[in-house]
Structure 1
Amino acid sequence: MFHAKTPADLPDPEILRTMSGLQFMQAIRDGTLPGPPIGARLNYRLNEVKEGRVTFRGAPGFDMTNPLGTVHGGWYGTLLDSCMACAIMTMIPAGTTYTTLEYKINITRSIPLDTEITAEGLVSHAGRSTGVATGEIRGPDGKLYATGSTTCIILPLPPKA
C-alpha cells in the first residue's frame, strides 16, 4: 500500500460513481489506489478489508506523544475513526459517499511506544442514510487499549456538473 503525497495523488472522487465502497477499500489495500496521507503521517496502514469489517495496523512512535510522553488521545481517536468509518465504507453502493457524523472513544490503557497494534472496525448497521460501527484497538497479545463507536451519514454523490 502506498500513501498519497500530494492532492494530485488522491483518487478522483468520481471513481465512487463506478466502484462500491468495498471495491474502493480493496483497491486501497491492494495498492491500486493510494491510501490517505494521514496513515503515513500517523504510522498506520490498512491491513484487512471485508464487507462490514476493516483492520488497520500501526505503531505509535515518539512523534505521537503528548507532553507527558504517553500516546496522545488524538492518535487513538484518529485510528478508531479511520477503522470504523472505513468499515461503513465497505457497505455503501457505487454512487454514494459518507462522512463521520459523530464518534466516541474510550481509552482503557496507554499503548507502549513502538508497539504494533491492530485496530478493527465492525459495522453494526448500514442503511440508506446512516451507518453505525464499533471499533477496538488491541495489542499483539490481545490486550485491549481502546474502544469506540461511530455514526456516519451516507450521502448520494452530487450530480456531475
Structure 2
Amino acid sequence: MTRLSHLDTVRGLLTLQDPKQFLFFTRTTNGRRAGKEFLARLKERSQGRDKAISLTSYGAQLKAIRRWGLEQPHDLSVIHQHGGIFATLLDSAAGCAVQSTLPQGVAYTSLDLTVKFLRRITVDTGTVRAIGTVVSKGRQTALAQAQLVDGTDRLLAHATSSCMLFPVPPSQG
C-alpha cells in the first residue's frame, strides 16, 4: 500500500494531475469521471478546507498502513452475510458527499440509511469503491445516495441516506 501511495503521488506529479485522482479512483471511464467531478467540487469550496498534509503526517499514515499490511490476513471466507462494513462504507460516502456541499459552520448527521445489497461480496470480489452523490439539499435536510462498485464498476450495493443539517457554534479557542 505504501508503495502504491508513493507511485500514485509521483504519477500525479509527472502528469500534472492531482494525486487523489490516482489514489482514490479506479482507472475505468467511470472512475476517472467520478474523480474529476469530486476534485472539481473540492476546488469550489473556498472556506472550511483542510490544511495541506505535512510530510511528517504523511509518513506516519504510511507507516500505520505498512504495519497493518504486515499483519496476518484475516480469514474473511467465514463471513457470508455480514454487510455492516459495506453499510458503513456507503454511509460514509453519502455523508462525505453532503459534507462537501456545506459551508463552514454547518455540519450534518445521518437521520436514516437504507441499503440494498445487489451482489454477493467476497474476498474474490477484489477492491470495492464507494461513490456518494447528493440528490437534494435544502436548508435543514439533504438526501444523498451512495453506490458500492467493484474494480470494473459493477454495482454491488446501493444506499440512500437522509441527513439533518445544523449550525455549529464557532469554537471558543
- Select the residue among 117, 128, 131 that pairs with 2:128: 117
Distance 1:132 1:100 in 2: 10
Bigger proportion of residues as helix: 2
One of 136, 145, 150 as aligned partner of 2:161 = 150
Per the alignment, residue 105 of structure 2 pairs with: 95
Bigger Rg, which one: 2
**Gaps (5+ residues) in structure 2?**
1-45, 58-63, 66-72
Which sections of structure 1, spanning at least 5 residues, go unmatched? 1-17, 35-39, 42-60
The aligned residue for residue 130 of structure 1 is 141
Structure 2 CA distance for partners of 1:141 and 1:99, relative to 1, 3 Å: same
Larger strand percent: 1
Partner of 1:51: none
TM-score, structure 1 as length reference: 0.59
Number of aligned residue pairs = 113
Instruction: Select 2:93's aligned residue among 83, 87, 112.
Output: 83
Q: 2:116 aligns with which of 98, 106, 118?
A: 106
Runs of 4+ in structure 1 over 4 Å off: none
Q: Taking structure 1 as reference, are residues 140 and 71 closer, same or farther at Cα in structure 2, changes over 3 Å only?
A: farther
Alpha-carbon RMSD across the aligned residues, in angstroms, is: 3.1
- 1:15-74 deviations in whole A, cap 9, x for unaligned? xxx943xx34xx5xx646x8xxxxx99xxxxxxxxxxxxxxxxxxx746x58x4236210
Identity %: 30
